[in-house]
Amino acid sequence: MENLLKFSLEKKEFEADDFVLAIGNSSWDTIENLKGKIKISNKNFAVGFRIEHLREDIDKAQYKENYKNLPSASYNLSYKAEGNKGVYTFCMCPGGYVINSSSYEGCLSVNGMSYHKRDFVNSNSAIVTSVNEEDYGDCELSALNYQKEIERKAFLLGGGNYFAPCQRLEDYINGVKSSSIGKIKPSILPGYTLTDLNLVFSSQINKRIKDGILSMGKKLKGFDYKDAILTGVESRTSSPVRLDRNEEMKSIGIENLYVIGDGSGYSGGIVSAAIDGIRAFENITKN
Ligand SMILES: Cc1cc2nc3c(=O)[nH]c(=O)nc-3n(C[C@H](O)[C@H](O)[C@H](O)COP(=O)(O)OP(=O)(O)OC[C@H]3O[C@@H](n4cnc5c(N)ncnc54)[C@H](O)[C@@H]3O)c2cc1C
């Protein structure tokens, strides 16, 4: 097993006994650079869209007549699709916005967030389905390449100017391009392009998401409302790769390289990434 002696960042070289790689889940170029140097595996992740409803409709569905006296409502819905694949809502943002989270030229991805007051007119959530090698193939980095491919499709469907591709839910279900929005206006900036989001995914993935949304509409009134807005694509739910590591959190390939956080594929979200960092610190200082 090799040892890393130094690394360079912005033309400066750093020497150390141990190195920590905590690159987050979107550092495609760094992961590609590591190919062949440390063990990297494809990892199951989840893909889909953001779904937006009127906040008032979600609040009424959750709280009934008391909704005006209560904070903006959240939800957490799931569905088991054919082939044992999950469909679920994720990172629900009550009274929040759909956020353009693109980080590579010519690619587009979305996320969501609420400001502290959670008082925007819409509420949104990711609606995603899990994907594995059946969906993206079993070659080296095929999960990462699949993530790139769907973000590229989203960029092109949006018109190639970082406007996000959007569609009314009823049109997505029926497989027709949206020509107008209804009661709900997409919140994404800098703007949106109405399109047919069926073009992003395979028919199997679209079917899973559609079946999931229709089933969730039976659990939460209005979740499958015809004017709900879908915005593409949610592709960064977690890392598409695992930087394999041993019990001490060291990479397989470079002995003194700790691989941690969301980019390692061993954490997902702020708290678990932070805990992973604390554990790495403990491992380094005990040696
Ligand atoms: C809009 C949005 C909303 C979110 N909301 C939530 C939420 O509500 N709750 C939640 O739990 N999580 C949320 N997340 C996810 C959360 O941000 C991540 O889970 C968390 O930041 C992962 O922490 P990390 O330290 O592993 O990676 P990051 O926070 O991504 O940090 C990685 C850092 O490494 C840097 N880097 C990458 N490659 C290199 C390189 N080659 N050289 C030098 N530096 C490099 C990056 O620039 C970055 O600063 C959200 C994410 C987004 C985008």
Residue 184 lies in a domain: yes
Average pLDDT value for residue range 256-281: 96
Verify that 209 and 113 share a domain, yes or no.
yes
What is the distance between the alpha carbons of residues 261 and 196, in angstroms, rounded to a whole number? 35
Residue 229 lies in a domain: yes
pLDDT band at 26 (very low <50, low <70, confident <90, very high): confident
pLDDT band at 75 (very low <50, low <70, confident <90, very high): very high
**10 Å Cβ neighbour count for 83?**
11
What ligand 1 atom has the least distance to the C-alpha of 30?
41
Q: Is the pLDDT of residue 1 over 80?
A: no
Residue range of the domain that includes 21: 6-41+242-286
Residue 49 lies in a domain: yes
pLDDT in tens, 80-113: 998 889 999 999 999 999 999 999 999 999 999 9
Q: Is the pLDDT of residue 13 over 80?
A: yes
φ/ψ of 4, rounded to 5, equals: -90, 130
Contacts of 227 (CB under 8 A, 6+ apart): 168, 169, 170, 181, 182, 183, 184
Verify that 134 and 269 share a domain, yes or no.
no
Element (H, E) at 2: none
Q: Is the pLDDT of residue 25 over 90?
A: no
Verify that 131 and 265 share a domain, yes or no.
no
- For ligand 1, say whether the CB of 273 is within 6 Å of any of its atoms: yes
Q: Is the pLDDT of residue 287 over 90?
A: no
Q: Whose CA is nearest to atom 28 of ligand 1?
A: 24
Residue pointed to by tokens 């395979």: 202
What ligand 1 atom has the least distance to the C-alpha of 260?
26
- For ligand 1, say whether the CB of 22 is within 6 Å of any of its atoms: yes
ipTM of predicted assembly, 2 dp: 0.97
Residue with the bigger pLDDT between 218 and 10: it is 218
- For ligand 1, say whether the CB of 31 is within 6 Å of any of its atoms: no
Residue 247 lies in a domain: yes
Verify that 106 and 144 share a domain, yes or no.
yes
Residue 181 lies in a domain: yes
Q: Is the pLDDT of residue 44 over 80?
A: yes
Element (H, E) at 52: strand 45-54
φ/ψ of 29, rounded to 5, equals: -65, -40
Q: 28 alpha carbon to ligand 1 midpoint, in Å? A: 13
Element (H, E) at 240: none
Pocket residue to mutate for ligand 1, from 23, 37, 259, most atoms within 8 A of Cβ: 23
Q: 180 alpha carbon to ligand 1 midpoint, in Å? A: 35
> Of 211, 234, 257, which marks where a domain is finished?
234
8 Å CB contact between 134 and 146: no
Residue 1 lies in a domain: no
- Per-residue pLDDT, 42: 97
- Per-residue pLDDT, 241: 96
Verify that 90 and 154 share a domain, yes or no.
yes
Q: 25 alpha carbon to ligand 1 midpoint, in Å? A: 7
What is the distance between the alpha carbons of residues 138 and 44, in angstroms, rounded to a whole number? 11
What is the distance between the alpha carbons of residues 191 and 100, in angstroms, rounded to a whole number? 9
pLDDT in tens, 179-235: 999 999 999 999 999 999 999 999 999 999 999 999 999 999 999 999 999 999 999
**Mean pLDDT, the chain, integer:** 95
Verify that 31 and 173 share a domain, yes or no.
no
Partner residues linked to 18 by β-bridges: none
- Per-residue pLDDT, 11: 86
What is the distance between the alpha carbons of residues 151 and 171, in angstroms, rounded to a whole number? 21
Burial 255-264 (b: 16+ CB within 10 A, else e): ebbbbbbbbb
Query: What does R_g of the chain's alpha carbons equal in angstroms?
Result: 21
Count of domains observed in the chain: 2
Q: Which of 47, 26, 25, 105 is nearest to 234 (CA)?
A: 47
Verify that 118 and 260 share a domain, yes or no.
no
> Of 215, 234, 253, which marks where a domain is finished?
234
Verify that 14 and 58 share a domain, yes or no.
no
**Distances in Å between the alpha carbon of 43 and those of 27, 180, 207, 237, 280?**
15, 37, 22, 12, 21
Verify that 133 and 258 share a domain, yes or no.
no
pLDDT band at 7 (very low <50, low <70, confident <90, very high): confident
Quick one: how far is CA 28 from the chain centroid? 15
Residue 277 lies in a domain: yes
Verify that 61 and 164 share a domain, yes or no.
yes
What ligand 1 atom has the least distance to the C-alpha of 276?
26
Q: Which of 32, 25, 39, 195 is nearest to 111 (CA)?
A: 25
Residue 109 lies in a domain: yes
